[in-house]
Amino acid sequence: MSRLSCFGVLLRTSIVLYLFLKCSEAQLPEVIMNLTASEITTSSVFLNWIEPLGNISFYRVEWTGGTDISGSNNTIGTSVNVTALTAGVQYLFTVTAVAGDNTTVGQNETISKYTKPAIIRNLMFTEITTSSVSLNWTEPKGNRSFYRVEWTGGNINGSQNTIGTSVNVTALTAGVQYLFTVTAVAGDNTTVGQNETISKYTKPAIIRNLMFTEITTSSVSLNWTEPKGNRSFYRVEWTGGNINGSQNTIGTSVNVTALTAGVQYLFTVTAVAGDNTTVGQNETISKYTKPAIIRNLMFTEITTSSVSLNWTEPKGNRSFYRVEWTGGNISGSQNTIGTSVNVTALTAGVQYLFTVTAVAGDNTTVGQNETLSKYTKPEVIRNLTVSEITTSSVSLSWIEPLGNRSFYRVEWTGGSRDMNTTTNETAYNVTELTAGVKYTFKVSAVAGDNITKGNAQEKALFTSKPFHWNGLNIFSEVEPCNDYVNICV
């Protein structure tokens, strides 16, 4: 064959091979269009696409993710749900159209997507204060990049990211209810799992300026300034003696009643949040109720320099009794644990006001006092003297006693009747007496109440007998007249 003939054969062969290759190339499936991922869960991704131009036999779906996960699935439709995936993991999904020979494939289309992270577990509070809440949880199954913590409450909205399984949320308002949401976020910072929520009140703040406004034998009134932040109500509790009590109030004052007199009570006031459970730090104050008034105060003995008092103990409790007295230029005080006292070193004939008060165990809180007024006895007069005696009169004089007195009482007995009179002087002439009769004269100082008198000084003597003319220029005493017949012998 000539060289020209060989060249012609070679050219025809090349053309046939080119046409064959061109025909073979025309059989490759086209690339799929609009590959999208939807309905993403923690363990599945739903893929969807538009079929390519031309013919295909089926689609090969392949995926890889993590370090040891890969899979493949064939489908004749234009969608597939890829399952059994791991939560929070990034997967690369590849979809390729395959020709009828099950071998020839077109150009693939890829899409990358994270599965949703799983929900966190065991979300709980570990510490709650007036301005912060500490949260703790167990990491979810699968993967995640970080956790997004969000909170709302009052007029506050906040968010914080953390890679750990705990967080301390600060700058909160006391006594406010907050809703905390914790969500696991995948590595694309966009794909999030189902969130877990928990609600909690911050602790209310401590109340301020707790004080007493009124104290009686059976009640205590408390007052305070509301705490900063919010609260629902206040819980007031008290203990003392054999009493324990509690009372709730929405105001900033309370009157605690039905208490026992003279008993120490510890009062606790706590702000309570809206859940009726979360409480702030309590504020405490201690106080004694007033002891009750003593009963049956009386005098048991009165002298010129002392007064003995006795009384019945009051109902309830007391620590001791304070006895106080004032009179003249003297004032004094004495404490006693008993129900009687002897007040000494007083001045004779002076009016004293005695006050007895029950005192509680703090040595400060006192009950209503009971008062009683009394004069001490005046001293006995001095040097009672008879200065003149007649048949019908006796003149008495004396020196005033030490101390005070209001007046003097002069008493005399003898004859047929007892008599008495009063005088402001230190001398008195007793008249209208019977001649020759023995009289007993008593003089005592009387105090300003006209009742209390000192011991009497007394004198006993006869009045003079009358004299009779005997004709010898001699006057002689005669027998007293017979009062009955009124005849003188």
In this predicted model, what pLDDT tens digit does every residue of 153-166 receive, in sequence order?
Answer: 988 899 999 999 99
pLDDT of residue 224: 98
Residues paired with 427 in a beta bridge = 397
- The CATH superfamily label for domain 33-114 reads Immunoglobulins (2.60.40.10)
DSSP 38: E
Question: Identity (one letter) of the amino acid at 93?
Answer: F
pLDDT of residue 9: 44
Whether the Cβ atoms of residue 122 and residue 135 lie closer than 8 Å to each other: no
Q: Specify the CATH class of 295-375 in words.
A: mainly beta
pLDDT of residue 15: 52
Question: Identity (one letter) of the amino acid at 133?
Answer: V
pLDDT of residue 472: 52
Question: Parallel, antiparallel, or unpaired: how do β-strands 457-462 and 295-302 relate?
Answer: unpaired
- List Cβ neighbours of 7 (8 Å cut-off, separation of 6 or more): none
pLDDT of residue 484: 29
Q: In degrees to the nearest 10, what's the CA dihedral of 170, 174, 177, 182? A: 10
C-alpha–C-alpha distance, residues 457 and 164, integer Å? 106
Parts of the chain belonging to CATH 2.60.40.10:
33-114, 121-201, 208-288, 295-375, 382-469
- List Cβ neighbours of 80 (8 Å cut-off, separation of 6 or more): 46, 47, 59, 61, 73
Residue with tokens 């159209």: 97
Question: Identity (one letter) of the amino acid at 76?
Answer: I
Sheet holding 307-312, edge to edge: 295-302, 307-312, 340-343
Residue with tokens 């001293």: 379
Is domain 208-288 classified as CATH 2.120.10.90?
Answer: no
Question: Parallel, antiparallel, or unpaired: how do β-strands 330-336 and 283-288 relate?
Answer: unpaired
pLDDT of residue 69: 74
Q: Specify the CATH class of 121-201 in words.
A: mainly beta
Distance of CA 442 to the CA centre of its chain: 70
pLDDT of residue 470: 59
Split the chain (489 residues) into runs of 10 and give each run's mean pLDDT. Answer: 47 50 62 94 96 92 84 94 95 95 92 96 97 97 96 93 97 97 97 96 97 97 97 97 94 97 98 97 97 97 97 96 95 97 96 98 97 97 96 97 96 89 96 95 97 96 80 48 33
pLDDT of residue 5: 54
Sheet holding 121-128, edge to edge: 121-128, 133-138, 166-169
Task: Encode burial over 163-178: b for 16+ CB neighbours within 10 A, e otherwise.
Answer: eebebebeebbbbbbb
| Whole-structure pTM value | 0.76
Q: Which pair of structure tokens corresponds to residue 266?
A: 């510890």
Determine which helix (DSSP H) or strand (DSSP E) holds 19, and give its type and residue range.
helix 3-25
Q: What is the CATH number of domain 382-469?
A: 2.60.40.10
Q: Which pair of structure tokens corresponds to residue 407?
A: 């007046």
Using DSSP's 3-state secondary structure scheme, residue 360 falls into coil
Q: What are phi and psi of 316, to 5 degrees?
A: 85, -155
